[in-house]
Structure 1
Amino acid sequence: MKRQTSMALAAVFAMSVAGTALAAPANPFVDVPAKHWSYDSVNKLAQAGVISGYGDGTYKGDKTLTRYEMATIVAKAMANADKADAETLKTIEALKAEYGAELANLGVRVDNLEKNASKVKFTGEVRTRYDYQDRNSGETFDSTKEANRLRLNMEAQLDKNVTFHGRYEANTEWGNGSDNESKLTQAYISGKVGEVNYSFGRQPVWLGQGMIADNESNNDGFFLSGGNKVKVTAGAFKKDAETYDNKDIDANYIAANIDAQLNKNLNLTASYLADKDDNYYKTTSAGLKYSGIKNFTVTGEYGENDSDAANGNHNGDAAKAWMAQLKYRGAERDRVGSLGIWAGYRSAEKGFDPLELTTLDAGRNYDDTYGILDNVKGPEFGVEYTVFKNGILTVQYNDLELKNPTAGQQKDKESFFAHLKYWF
């Protein structure tokens, strides 16, 4: 009897173990083979900033992970999917499919993660900058300026073809917390209806190669565009500005742009900009960008402003301007040690850009007797270098002078700036 009882208990135990084994999920502690594709995929996620790896930002290829460990990594990537671009999202989806069973064992609910993910994607940019401008005798402006700028960018998908873009910006001089300027510089939607793209609201305006407008802030208007290799854009916007004689101008503009990508190396542009009554702008330009020489990019543009103000400065003729730049390579945010070096030249007659819709980042912040591309000529030299991932240091020198100085006015307008930009 005892023997029969023992055999019966053993059979019940064996059946219970077998049943448990059949019901149990796959063993999550099985090693992922060393040459499995998911290792490369995880390293790509680390390099893209979606997940954090070891000190060098990667997961060691010589360390074999279990499927349980790999699933934990994938779960973290899913939680940070809002940081991913389209290509990185594809990688995450592939890993989710591979480790679906292990994710389920961990209690990871894909649907819940996607529902709880924020619809608003935030990114930011900080710029710490030092500016110097040569101050001639008799001029009273401060020759140096040190300032910080914070930009907080927002993006949200409102509908399948409608996206919101926003930017909040704050500027302050070094050591001066009370001299703070904060403003909403962008707030617009972009979308597509059929084959036509549109943007509406406070948005950046860029025309041609940037010579007649490269303004990122406080342009309120509406633009339509269409085309692929030849893109045609037209629209209208409003922007407040101040003239050199301190007149506040609340101007309405119309703008048009043709951007033709003839091949992978050559881009041609034609642009038009005018204010409502042609008082300050009636400007046309033609430009090009060529990158067919290894490691070099050539950019150039020529334009004329035939507005009333420009005609008044040139006996009825248009104010003319041109710029050119030769650049070697370029600093890339995700490549530490990458750099760019360039040399350029600009020349603009008085009245070409009286309200400074062009910025061209020349470092002038103090003297109102000339514009970035108005009544000025001279070369510029610059270098940029990626000092850490998402951090670029730029140094630029402009050897400028006035084209037409007034009586007693000094011609020399040399300037220098250095800034560190980093993104998050």
Structure 2
Amino acid sequence: MKKKILAAAVLAAMTLSTASVFASPAFSGDSKIEFINKDSGSDLSSRFRLNVDASIDENLNVHARYNTGGYSISDGAATVDASIDQAYIGAIIKDSEIRVGRQSLWLGKGMLMDGDAFNGVQVATGIDNVAITAFTGKDANHDKTTQAEIGTSFGNVNVGANYLKLDDTKFYGINFDTKVAENTVLNVEYVKNTTDKNDGYIAELKVGEAVKKGDFDYAVSYRNIEDGAVTGYSTDSQFNDSKGFRVAANYKVSDNSTLNIKQDIAENNAGSSDKKFTDITFSVNF
């Protein structure tokens, strides 16, 4: 009888302790509807993501994200490729942040890395005006992934350099952005696959800034990217083996919703195949 009472007391204490720590988790998320038209055909799809964040104490936190993936509306697929693509414990130690677990990765302006569901350890820190990040772990295919990035600024110029190793393939990239006129920014990124000796670059001129309801921005870019110069985790699947122009625009329909339009006038790097591409996306944040 005493053992049962003791067990009940321990369970109650654990429940109360957990309830006090996780009493107010923060929920946020985003959703989008996207229309894509390219040479292989057109598709209308949707995606929903939900974030859960909770602070353990002033130094520890936990984060998770549920992601439905791209669900095709056009073909009426019966299943959704849903997953938990982020689930990590974070710690703040002095001026450094450490994340251990399943997380998303980003490098530069996205040419080499904009991917989810990487399992490992990421460290971010700063020394004076220099930001440094590093990650080691594996991707969803169990391929070893190592990356590092350093960035700083000089007046109105922001510069960065990064290194990435996916399995046995090595890449590096450099990037910068600067204000060239009132409300106008120049973004440039160069990347190289040092294993296969392929490279590529994107130069973009962006005007305006879509922040609140009614705001509008637009951008014109040119790219020349050899086959294999970027990874499968590039921020846009259209980048690999392509050269040509892109016109893009964002309009803030409301403070928490955006209409984005992208139009590519491009071909493959050899100039033998058309890579025209249209993307219209309506996204909301909550």
| TM-score scaled by length of structure 1 | 0.59
Q: State the SS of the aligned residue for 2:121.
A: strand
**2: distance between equivalents of 1:336 and 1:123?**
20
**2: distance between equivalents of 1:192 and 1:116?**
17
Match of 2:260 among 394, 402, 412: 394
Q: Are residues 321 and 177 of structure 1, via their aligned partners in 2, closer, same or farther at CA, if it must alter by over 3 Å?
A: closer
The offset of 1:210, in angstroms, is 2.0
**1: distance between equivalents of 2:160 and 2:100?**
23
Q: State the SS of the aligned residue for 2:282.
A: strand
Query: 1:180 matched to which residue of 2?
Result: 80
Q: State the SS of the aligned residue for 2:243.
A: strand
Structure 1 unpaired stretches of 5+: 1-114, 136-142, 241-248, 311-317, 361-370
Q: State the SS of the aligned residue for 1:374.
A: coil
> What amino acid does structure 1 have at the position aligned with 2:238?
I
Query: 1:128 matched to which residue of 2?
Result: 33
**1: distance between equivalents of 2:267 and 2:48?**
31
C-alpha contact 2:170 2:193 (8 A) present in aligned 1: yes
Query: 1:153 matched to which residue of 2?
Result: 51
Query: 2:170 matched to which residue of 1?
Result: 282
**2: distance between equivalents of 1:152 and 1:229?**
33
> What amino acid does structure 2 have at the position aligned with 1:203?
Q
Q: Where do residues 53-202 of structure 1 align in structure 2 (5 Å cutoff)?
A: 118-135=23-40, 143-170=41-68, 171-174=70-73, 176=76, 178-202=78-102
Query: 1:102 matched to which residue of 2?
Result: none
**1: distance between equivalents of 2:233 and 2:64?**
20
**1: distance between equivalents of 2:181 and 2:63?**
36
The offset of 1:351, in angstroms, is 1.7
The offset of 1:341, in angstroms, is 0.4
**2: distance between equivalents of 1:336 and 1:195?**
35
What's the C-alpha RMSD, in Å, of the aligned pairs? 2.0
Match of 1:302 among 190, 211, 229: 190
Query: 1:404 matched to which residue of 2?
Result: 270
Q: State the SS of the aligned residue for 2:81.
A: strand
Query: 2:17 matched to which residue of 1?
Result: none
Query: 2:159 matched to which residue of 1?
Result: 268
Q: State the SS of the aligned residue for 2:43.
A: strand
2:179 is the counterpart of 1:291: yes
The offset of 1:267, in angstroms, is 0.9
Q: Are residues 373 and 116 of structure 1, via their aligned partners in 2, closer, same or farther at CA, if it must alter by over 3 Å?
A: closer
**2: distance between equivalents of 1:225 and 1:336?**
33
**2: distance between equivalents of 1:189 and 1:329?**
37
C-alpha contact 1:352 1:373 (8 A) present in aligned 2: no
2:221 is the counterpart of 1:359: no
Greater relative contact order (CA < 8 Å, ≥ 6 in sequence) = 2
Q: State the SS of the aligned residue for 1:179.
A: coil
2:117 is the counterpart of 1:218: yes
C-alpha contact 1:229 1:262 (8 A) present in aligned 2: no
Q: Are residues 160 and 116 of structure 1, via their aligned partners in 2, closer, same or farther at CA, if it must alter by over 3 Å?
A: closer
2:281 is the counterpart of 1:414: no
Q: State the SS of the aligned residue for 1:284.
A: strand
- 1:347-372 alpha-carbon deviations (Å, 9 max, x no partner): 2112212x412123xxxxxxxxxx53
> What amino acid does structure 2 have at the position aligned with 1:412?
D
The offset of 1:291, in angstroms, is 2.5
Query: 1:255 matched to which residue of 2?
Result: 147
Query: 1:100 matched to which residue of 2?
Result: none
**1: distance between equivalents of 2:121 and 2:97?**
11
Structure 2 unpaired stretches of 5+: 1-19
The offset of 1:116, in angstroms, is 10
Q: Where do residues 36-51 of structure 1 align in structure 2 (5 Å cutoff)?
A: none
- 1:181-214 alpha-carbon deviations (Å, 9 max, x no partner): 2111111122222333211111121112222112
The offset of 1:321, in angstroms, is 0.9
- 1:381-422 alpha-carbon deviations (Å, 9 max, x no partner): 0111011231111111011211137xxxx5101010101101
C-alpha contact 1:225 1:234 (8 A) present in aligned 2: yes
Query: 2:6 matched to which residue of 1?
Result: none
Query: 2:3 matched to which residue of 1?
Result: none
| TM-score scaled by length of structure 2 | 0.86
- 1:57-83 alpha-carbon deviations (Å, 9 max, x no partner): xxxxxxxxxxxxxxxxxxxxxxxxxxx
**2: distance between equivalents of 1:198 and 1:120?**
20
User: Greater helix percent: which structure?
Assistant: 1
**2: distance between equivalents of 1:117 and 1:351?**
45
C-alpha contact 1:224 1:233 (8 A) present in aligned 2: yes
2:213 is the counterpart of 1:341: no
Query: 2:205 matched to which residue of 1?
Result: 326
C-alpha contact 1:342 1:382 (8 A) present in aligned 2: yes
User: Greater strand percent: which structure?
Assistant: 2
Q: State the SS of the aligned residue for 1:178.
A: coil
